[in-house]
Amino acid sequence: MASYCKVVSSNPSLSAHARASSGASYASFSTSLAKGGLSSIQQALYDLDLPESLSVFTAGSASKFEIPFPELEPISLVFVCDGSTRKATQKKIHHLASSHFPAASLHVEWKDPNSDPLSRSHRVQTAFPSHFLHRQRLFGCSKNQDRLLFQFVREIQEMPGKERQKFRKSFVKNHLKQLAATIEGKDIRGVDLKKGMMFYDSKKRQATKYSLLLPIQYVLDLRIIDAIRVLSHWPKDYVSFLKFMPNKISELIDYMFAERLLPELDKQDIQDLKQAYEFGLFYNQIGQEFYAISKGKKTAFPITDDRRLQQAYANAQRILSKIDSSQYCRSNRSPKLY
């Protein structure tokens, strides 16, 4: 604790934000900030003379409108274009980034649709479908978007079982373990539920992100991946599902339930899971705000409603344990796929 800048709610606006009753308004405010940041990037892209064949999307937390302070976490931008147009496009994008945005605020990745899988990211060594799954289109026509969605669906359908298992082990299981360890008090890197404290820095101590938000996200992602792999639908049906898939996780939970992708859960489970995610996101964004105010110093701050947060963690663990991927694959098609 000595190495952290301890923050108390002396700022009136932050005190108001920390009340559970203001969580919805604060989330709306944070979403507006996040959308505003993406809108400025989108407008800057359209101001350039870029080729029609180019597609640009954002991924990660930015695509879910969860980064109200882009200086804290780089916004991931993925540019999809073939080799013949890449060099000229790169020059324009480099000039745009250097003249309009801080060096640390963007993370740019380039993909050739003829050779680079959309289901992988250059930032990790294994298949990482989440990167494209939660995309937010910033540039490119609808025809290009549909073509990329078809390509992504085909990649998931043809994904070897071992690649799916690597994703499950590296992302789903590891974060579920961190969720459990946080509840048990064995992992207090981001959240100490017993002492009622949270911690935020630029690495692994990002409040609720790794122990609550990502476990929920990755379990949902795995279910979507499994559905594409095992359900007997036309690719265009999956393209339609992905095309209209909400970016915000709380809305995605409702969407998946309505599309019958979460048959193990009932309406109360859905409500509890949404509330757990929204409350966790509320505290994570409070952490971002404190961290921004402290100008990048490691920050510790109190949990103002520790019992409610403990319940959110408990509900998330209970509900996620019901989402059985192996049983889902067995009941829908061949067990060899899981």
**C-alpha span between 201 and 138 (Å, rounded):** 29
Look up residue 252 and give its amino acid: L
**How many beta carbons lie within 10 A of that of residue 152, not counting itself?**
22
**Residues 74, 76, 82, CA angle at the centre, nearest 5°?**
145
Q: In tens digits, what is the pLDDT along the chain, a chain of 338 residues? A: 446 666 544 343 443 444 444 555 555 656 665 566 677 788 888 888 888 889 998 888 777 777 766 666 777 888 998 888 888 888 888 877 766 665 557 778 899 988 899 998 877 777 899 989 998 888 888 889 999 999 999 999 999 989 999 999 999 999 999 999 999 999 999 999 999 999 998 777 899 999 999 999 999 999 999 999 887 677 788 999 999 999 899 999 999 999 999 999 999 999 999 999 999 999 988 888 888 888 778 899 999 899 999 999 999 999 999 998 777 777 776 444 33
Domains of the chain by residue range: 5-337
- Between CA 285 and CA 263 the distance in angstroms is 31
Distance of CA 219 to the CA centre of its chain: 12
Kindly give, in sequence order, each residue whose CB lies less than 8 Å from that of residue 113, ignoring residues fewer than 6 positions away. Answer: 80, 81, 82, 147, 148, 151
